[in-house]
Structure 1
Amino acid sequence: MTHLDYPRGYARARLPNGNRQSPAHASRSAVPGWLDPEDRPVFVTAHPPYFARIYVPPAGKGLAGHYEIGLTHQSRRDLLTDLEARIGRGRGFAVATLNLDHVVKLRHSARFREAYDAHSHIVADGNPIVWLARMAGQDVKLTPGSELVLPVAEMAARTGVSLGLFGGTPESLAQARTAIETHAPDARVANCLAPPVGFDPDGTDAEVFISTMQESDAAIWLLALGAPKQEILASRAFARMPDRGFLSVGAGLDFIAGCQRRAPGVVRSLALEWAWRMAGDPARLAPRYGKCIAILPKLAEAALLQRSELQGR
C-alpha cells in the first residue's frame, strides 16, 4: 500500500448503493494511497495516524447519499506538531476548522464541498462537532480556528518563516499585526492584504491576490474571511502553492486586534459562545444559528448510524 506523504481531509459522498466517491473529485479514490484495501482514508502525520468522521446528511429527507467529513487530527497539539513538521520540511498545508455552520453550508454547496475536499487538514471547531464525534464513538478534542492564530505565530517564529494576513480592513490587519509581533517578538508578518467588500474567492480579484501571495515571502497565510470564502480561497491558493501554509481562522484576527470581543472564558466553558455572539449581532447570527439548531436532530441520527456501523465492523 502506498501512503500519501501528508494528511488529507476528505469529503466523500456515500451513494445509496453503499459505494463512496468524492463529490467534487470522484477520480481521487483511484489515486494510489488515497484508500487502503479496507476503503479507509490513510493519514501520515508526525504522530500515529488518527482520524474521525462526521456524517453530513443530505439536504433532502433521509440519510441516503450523506457526506463524510474526515477529521485529520484529534487535538490542537497534534495539529500544530504536524504543521510545524511540515513547514520544517518545506511542505505546505491547508487547514479547515469544521463547525456546525460549515455543516449547514456543506449540505447545500457543491463548491464548498469541493474546497473542503482540497484541504490537507481538518479539525473540530465547535462543541457540537466534538459531541457528534463522541456520539459516534470517536474521541475528538475542540480545536477552534480563532485560537490558532497566536500558536501559529509562535510556530512561525520558531521555524524562521514569515506570516501573511488576509481579510478584514487595513486598520484591523495593522492591529492584528501589532498583536502578533507583541505576543511573539521573533514573528515577522511579511504581508497584510485586505480584500474589497464583496470579495469573490472565485473571481478575478482572487486571482490577483493569489499571485500577490505567491510573490510574497510569507510561508503561512492566516485567512479571515468567514466561510465559505476563506476555505475556497485556501483551496485555490494551496493548489497553486503546495509549499505554503493556509489556515482559515474566521474572526481570529479581529479577536487579537481587539475589533471583536471574545466571549468570556466562563461562557466558552459552558459551550455558550454562540449565544454570546448572537446577542451581539442578532439580525445576522440568529438565522444562521437557527439553521444550525434545526439540523442537530438529523446529525445526531447520522452519528448514531455511524456508531452502529463502527461497532459492526
Structure 2
Amino acid sequence: MQIQKKGFILAKKQCIGNIYMSVFTSKQEFIETLAGKAGEKEKLNLYFLNDHGFNIAQKDTDYRGILNRADYLLNDGIGIKLGARIWGVRVGENLNGTDLIPLFLRKCEDEGWSVYLLGSTEDIVSEAARRIKEKYHRLKIAGYHHGFFRAEQEIVREINRSEADVLIVGMGMPLQEKFIDRRDHELTPRIRIAAGGYIDFVSGKKPRAPKAMRKLNLEWLFRMVLEPRRMWRRNVIGHLQFFIKVIQLKTKKRL
C-alpha cells in the first residue's frame, strides 16, 4: 500500500493485521524524509504504533481508521517488531517518538521552523518548553498549552495564531491522534506529531530507561518497574492480547 498526497508518494506502508505501518530502516532515514516533506510545505500527520495502540484500534474502529489515514505511522517497541515479523514485515530500528522527536527538533532549529507544544499539565508543559529551549538555543517555541482543555476550537485558534510550523501533541492514545485527525483541515502547522509521553519525559517528570535497556527494547520493563499498578495490565495482559490478535488475523487471512 502506498499513500499519495497531492501528486507525490509519501511512503510505502506494510500491513500488520488490519493496520498499515510505514517502514523505514533507521531514524536518520526517516528524519531526512520528514524534513524533505516539511520543506515542501505539505501538511503531514505523524503517529506511532505500539502494541497498546494496536489493541485500542481493535476495539475502536474510528481510531483504526485514523491510524490508517496517517501520513506516517512508525513502529514503536519490541511488540510491534515481533508482530510485524509474524506478518512477514521486517522493521529496522525502533522508531519511537521520544528518540525521534529530539532529532527532528535539531532539524527544526537548523531550518528555522517553530514548534508548539500541546499536552500534559501546565507546569509540565511549561518546563518542557523551557528545557527544549535550553537545549536548542536557536529553536523558536511558538507557544504551549496544557492538554486538559474544554474549548477545543479556541485551542485550535491559539495554535494557528502562533504560526507554528510544527505541532507536538502529547495527550496519550487515542486522544492525541483523534484531536489531530478531527482538526486536520483547520490546523495550520504543517507537521503534526502525536508524541505520547514525550512532553513528560523532556520535562524531567518521567525518567527514561538507561540506554542499555533501550537498546535491548526493554524500556517497557523499566516503566513497569516504576509504575507497576498502571503498567502491569498494559504490558503483560496487553502484550498477550496483541500477539493473540496478530496471530488470529494472520490465520484468518490464510483461510
Q: TM-score range by the shorter chain?
A: 0.7 to 0.9
Q: Distance in 2 between matches of 1:280 and 1:137?
A: 34
| Structure 1 residues not aligned, in runs of 5+ | 7-32, 34-42, 56-67
TM-fit CA distance, 1:304: 6.8
Matched, 1:272 2:231: no
Q: Answer yes or no: is the 8 Å Cα contact 2:128–2:203 preserved in 1.
A: yes
User: Who is 2:185 aligned against?
Assistant: 239
Q: Distance in 2 between matches of 1:115 and 1:205?
A: 22
Aligned pairs for 1:1-313 (under 5 A) are 4-5=4-5, 44-45=9-10, 49-55=11-17, 68-74=18-24, 75-141=26-92, 142-196=94-148, 199=149, 205-241=151-187, 244-295=190-241, 296-303=243-250
Q: Distance in 1 between matches of 2:135 and 2:16?
A: 35
More helix by percentage: 2
* Aligned-residue RMSD, C-alpha: 2.4
Q: Distance in 2 between matches of 1:147 and 1:214?
A: 27
Q: Distance in 2 between matches of 1:242 and 1:118?
A: 18
TM-fit CA distance, 1:53: 1.5
Q: Distance in 2 between matches of 1:136 and 1:155?
A: 34
- Secondary structure at the counterpart of residue 218 of structure 1: coil
TM-fit CA distance, 1:217: 1.5
User: Could you say if the C-alpha distance between residues 294 and 134 of structure 1 is closer, same or farther in structure 2, counting changes exceeding 3 Å?
Assistant: closer
Q: Answer yes or no: is the 8 Å Cα contact 1:93–1:238 preserved in 2.
A: no
- Percentage of identical aligned residues: 22
TM-fit CA distance, 1:301: 4.7
TM-fit CA distance, 1:5: 2.9
- Secondary structure at the counterpart of residue 48 of structure 2: strand
Q: Distance in 2 between matches of 1:212 and 1:242?
A: 11
Q: Give the number of aligned pairs.
A: 251
TM-fit CA distance, 1:208: 2.1
**Greater relative contact order: 1 or 2 (C-alpha under 8 angstroms, separation 6 or more)?**
2
User: Could you say if the C-alpha distance between residues 134 and 169 of structure 1 is closer, same or farther in structure 2, counting changes exceeding 3 Å?
Assistant: same
Query: What per-residue deviation string (whole Å, max 9, x for no partner) do you get for residues 164-216 of structure 1?
Result: 001112221222122222322221111111132xx5xxxx5222212221222
Q: Answer yes or no: is the 8 Å Cα contact 1:132–1:303 preserved in 2.
A: no
- Secondary structure at the counterpart of residue 191 of structure 1: strand
Q: Answer yes or no: is the 8 Å Cα contact 1:223–1:249 preserved in 2.
A: yes
Amino acid at match of 2:245: K
TM-fit CA distance, 1:237: 3.0
| Structure 2 residues not aligned, in runs of 5+ | none
Q: Answer yes or no: is the 8 Å Cα contact 2:45–2:193 preserved in 1.
A: yes
Q: Distance in 2 between matches of 1:251 and 1:283?
A: 18
Q: Under a length normalisation based on structure 1, what TM-score does the superposition of the two structures give?
A: 0.73
TM-fit CA distance, 1:290: 3.3
TM-fit CA distance, 1:243: 5.6
Q: Answer yes or no: is the 8 Å Cα contact 2:160–2:188 preserved in 1.
A: no
Question: Stretches of 4+ moved more than 4 A in 1?
Answer: 303-306
Q: Distance in 2 between matches of 1:96 and 1:207?
A: 22
Query: What per-residue deviation string (whole Å, max 9, x for no partner) do you get for residues 7-56 of structure 1?
Result: xxxxxxxxxxxxxxxxxxxxxxxxxx8xxxxxxxxx813xxx5332210x
Q: Answer yes or no: is the 8 Å Cα contact 1:161–1:219 preserved in 2.
A: yes
